[in-house]
Amino acid sequence: MPDRQRTILIVDDEEDVLDLLQLVFETSGFTVRRASNGKAAVSSAYESPPDVILLDVMMPEMDGWQVLRTLKGDERTRSVPVVMLSARAERRDKMIGLQEGAEGYIAKPFSPAEVVREVQSFLDRPA
């Protein structure tokens, strides 16, 4: 178990999804930060890079693909693991996410335990 509490940035434009994931991750010992759109996510990640980002694809203002490309293209956030979380569950969508730099891709609807397990797997890997 890590000595410090890990921080996750959860990005989704659906308030109920944010609420559910915040509860699940706080219960699992994470510090949770939230963003309801892509621009807020980029700003939050640049201000203080989290340990991991859980990122929805379909959002207003700046979609998840744009956020992913922006974060992976900047040295401040390039190494932060990003797990995509989306209702776009076609194989093609998953491949795009992985090719753009996401470390994982989870389809909605999701199991909260699956999401925590997936996120934790990236944090448990050696740096």
Mean pLDDT value across residues 7-30: 96
Give the list of residues 6+ apart from residue 85 with CB closer than 8 angstroms, or none.
12, 54, 55, 56, 57, 105, 106, 108, 110, 115
Residue that wins the pLDDT comparison between 95 and 101: 101
The predicted pLDDT at position 22 comes to 97
Mean pLDDT value across residues 33-62: 95
pTM for this entry:
0.91
> pLDDT at residue 110 above 60?
yes
CB atoms within 10 A of CB 90: 10
The predicted pLDDT at position 87 comes to 81
> pLDDT at residue 73 above 80?
yes
Name the CATH superfamily for 7-122. Answer: Response regulator (3.40.50.2300)
Q: Which sequence spans correspond to the domains of the chain?
A: 7-122
Mean pLDDT value across residues 77-104: 85
Q: What percent of the chain is modeled with pLDDT above 70? A: 95
> pLDDT at residue 93 above 80?
no
> pLDDT at residue 118 above 60?
yes
